[in-house]
A = this chain, B = another copy of it.
Amino acid sequence: MANQYVDLETLKYLLFQVQDLKEVLEQERYSEYDEEAVEMFIDSVKDYADKEMYPYFKEMDEHPAHFKDGEIVVHPQVTKYMKEAGEMGFIGAPFDYDAGGLQMPSMAVNASSFIQEAANNHLPGYVGLTLGAAELIVHFANQELNQTYVPKMISGEWGGTMCLTEPQAGSSLSDIVTSATPDGDTYKIHGQKIFISGGDYQGAENIVHLVLARIKGAPAGTKGISLFVVPKNRPKSDGSLESNDVTTVADFQKMGQRGYCTTHLFFGDKEDCTGWLVGEPNQGLRYMFLMMNGARIAVGRGAAAIATGAYHASLNYAHERPQGRELQSSGKKDASQEQTLIVNHPDVRRMLLLQKAITEGSLSLVFLCSKYYDLSVAASDEKESERYKLLLEIMTPIVKTYPSEMGITSINNGVQVLGGYGFCSEYILQQYLRDIRISAIYEGTTGIQSQDLLGRKITMANGKALQLLSEEIKQSIGEAMAHESLAPYAKKLGAKLELTQEVLQSLMGYAMQGDYQRFLADATPFMEFFSTIVMAWQWLVIGTNAQQALVMGSKRNSEEFYESKLHTMKFYFKYELPKTQGLSEILMDKEALTLNTDKKIFA
């Protein structure tokens, strides 16, 4: 089952060599880990995913989670997985030892999650949300809430969710109306939440909802939103559970991720739903957003993983399927020849290399952002920590968006490699294409990420984050310049950095004139522009590492392996980077065509 859904050699190469996990492991915080321990963990995850996740991937799509008789019916593997994820440490991995966790660097945690998501993206969400909900409690709730909930969540006995969206408030969280009425030390919660992933399932002993709600009398907008722990079943003083008036009223059937339930919840239908305030009143959105970087990296990681599974499925098909013949130098084909494998057709190779460039580049980006996170948490020097925080801030919308958007493109090419079979349910490609589509919507759509990137992150701390990122890129350019064969690529990237400055100067003009609508109108094309350049940087870094390994005669990986990375870098620079030229023209074009005016442009 070599590389059936993930290429572990490349994963380890990106983790250990390219993004240099060692630098993180050297920090005091992670002193109990070494590379060998992380590698063993990764191998055990792959082993588990092979046996308990990948075999159920198609089945979970074909038998989707659904609402029946007042509850959500999920594939039996969900319950098994939650329990085993607790045992394997998948949930506890990122938590401090103090909180009962394994205090593992997020680089390693994300490697583990990536493998699981590549194997079966319908399962890890249950763990991911439990982990995210527990993190909110650990970071912001009092000791009592911690003691009551966190151990049960880390063990996988209780699930967790994040309840943000309401029917009238999708991307616009300031319009949340779910209410919290003080009732002694606790609150009575009333309202409804939609799109709640992992919100309920048959046989779950308890589900711990982290709910955004408005305390009666709180200020309007985002400043009046508080965060509550609202369990499906509330623990009584004797430790037993009683119903907390949280009702699942419906589910959402979806085009993909059909094994991962999406629910519609009612809180307090019988006025008997108790919520426990997390931290201070009116700080809910702030708490939520302090955890948001992790959640957004997770979405990008999941998208990269889904696209990786799809890449290997189409690559394997291309190596097995004979079809047509190679063109001869005459421009003709010789029908008397045996058919050739389709991997030998240039157009098929182009589609496969595009997938390789997008998926491996995305994984590199995920590890890089994880490293920024780990170092921001673990660095002993405060200035260093601050530096990594800023780098993480500016990279978060990119690591969320690039794998999500380009992952769609990647899988779309994978489907095309299979021709008619790509469209058929019997083959897995179509499922990947359906599954990944949510990634560009989860945790803030691409439009919102793009506004975050251009409107907040580029300008934050007087442009300091962008400056730090530029320095990182320039350093990589410098390292690549040391290799004659890489110099042309390094120079191309340098030129794109200068182009970025030009584009930003042009856009900043609008902001300085106070025309913020215009400034942000093309935020999404800017995201495409900038993230394409960031990805070129990642490929230059990978290429430099591979070139160095070849020069040094490294035996960690084969020569072919390193050559293949260099080839993919070249592919990215030839086929992907040039699109930034057209994008820069769009971004510097003075004509405004999308602003809201009186003109009936859709007449």
Complex interface: chain B residues within 8 A of A591 (CB): 570, 574
Shortest CB distance A593–B (Å): 5
| A interface bracket (residues with beta carbon within 8 Å of B) | 35 or more
Does A602 make an interface contact (CB < 8 A)? yes
Contacts known (A349-B601, A517-B346); A252 close to B426, Cβ less than 8 A: yes
**Interface residues in A444-461 (C-beta closer than 8 Å to B):** 445-447, 450-451, 455
Binds B, one of A74-82, A87-95, A236-244, A413-421: A413-421
Q: How far is the CA of A437 from the CA of B425 in the complex (A)?
A: 13
Binds B, one of A296-304, A376-384, A474-482, A582-590: A582-590
B175 lies within 8 A of A339 (CB): yes
Shortest CB distance A13–B (Å): 12
Does A515 make an interface contact (CB < 8 A)? yes
Shortest CB distance A433–B (Å): 7
Does A323 make an interface contact (CB < 8 A)? yes
A441 lies within 8 A of B412 (CB): no
Copy total for this chain: 2
Complex interface: chain B residues within 8 A of A440 (CB): 416
Does A516 make an interface contact (CB < 8 A)? yes
B416 lies within 8 A of A560 (CB): no
Does A581 make an interface contact (CB < 8 A)? yes
Nearest CB to that of A165 among chain B residues? B420
B441 lies within 8 A of A420 (CB): yes
B347 lies within 8 A of A171 (CB): no
Nearest CB to that of A329 among chain B residues? B514
For A562-603 the 0/1 string (1 means CB < 8 A from B) is 011001101100110011111101100101011110011111
A423 lies within 8 A of B441 (CB): yes
Q: Which of B331, B424, B447, B514 sits near A253, CB closer than 8 Å?
A: B424
Does A326 make an interface contact (CB < 8 A)? yes
B347 lies within 8 A of A521 (CB): yes
Binds B, one of A28-36, A96-104, A134-142, A350-358: A350-358
Shortest CB distance A418–B (Å): 9
Does A152 make an interface contact (CB < 8 A)? no
Q: How far is the CA of A165 from the CA of B415 in the complex (A)?
A: 18
B560 lies within 8 A of A574 (CB): no
Q: Which of B221, B416, B433, B521 sits near A441, CB closer than 8 Å?
A: B416
A564 lies within 8 A of B601 (CB): yes
B423 lies within 8 A of A445 (CB): no
Q: Which of B455, B519, B586 sits near A574, CB closer than 8 Å?
A: B586
Q: Which of B323, B415, B589 sits near A172, CB closer than 8 Å?
A: B323
B438 lies within 8 A of A423 (CB): yes
B323 lies within 8 A of A516 (CB): no
B574 lies within 8 A of A589 (CB): yes
Complex interface: chain B residues within 8 A of A174 (CB): 333, 335
Does A434 make an interface contact (CB < 8 A)? yes
Q: How far is the CA of A586 from the CA of B326 in the complex (A)?
A: 23
Does A281 make an interface contact (CB < 8 A)? no
Q: Which of B221, B324, B352, B570 sits near A335, CB closer than 8 Å?
A: B221
Q: How far is the CA of A329 from the CA of B315 in the complex (A)?
A: 50
Contacts known (A335-B220, A567-B601, A601-B353); A347 close to B416, Cβ less than 8 A: no
Nearest CB to that of A429 among chain B residues? B255
A416 lies within 8 A of B593 (CB): no
Q: Which of B170, B349, B521 sits near A596, CB closer than 8 Å?
A: B349
Does A499 make an interface contact (CB < 8 A)? no
For A242-253 the 0/1 string (1 means CB < 8 A from B) is 000000000011
Q: How far is the CA of A103 from the CA of B510 in the complex (A)?
A: 58
Q: How far is the CA of A445 from the CA of B422 in the complex (A)?
A: 12
Shortest CB distance A5–B (Å): 15
For A325-337 the 0/1 string (1 means CB < 8 A from B) is 1111111010110
A424 lies within 8 A of B521 (CB): no
Contacts known (A254-B425, A353-B594); A564 close to B172, Cβ less than 8 A: no
Complex interface: chain B residues within 8 A of A315 (CB): 602
Does A520 make an interface contact (CB < 8 A)? yes
Does A524 make an interface contact (CB < 8 A)? yes
Nearest CB to that of A439 among chain B residues? B423
Which 7 A-B residue pairings sit nearest by Cβ, starting from the closest? Answer: A221-B335, A578-B582, A331-B516, A255-B430, A560-B603, A346-B521, A578-B585
List 21 interface pairs A-B (beta carbons < 8 Å), by A numbering: A169-B323, A172-B324, A220-B335, A220-B336, A254-B423, A254-B425, A254-B430, A255-B423, A255-B425, A262-B424, A315-B602, A327-B520, A329-B514, A331-B511, A347-B524, A350-B522, A416-B447, A419-B445, A422-B441, A568-B601, A582-B582
> Measuring CB to CB, which residues of chain A are less than 8 angstroms from any residue of chain B?
165, 168-172, 174-175, 194-195, 220-222, 252-256, 262, 315, 322-331, 333, 335-336, 339, 343-350, 352-353, 356, 408, 412, 415-416, 419-420, 422-426, 430, 433-434, 437-438, 440-441, 445-447, 450-451, 455, 511, 514-517, 519-525, 558, 560-561, 563-564, 567-568, 570-571, 574-575, 578-583, 585-586, 589, 591, 593-596, 599-603
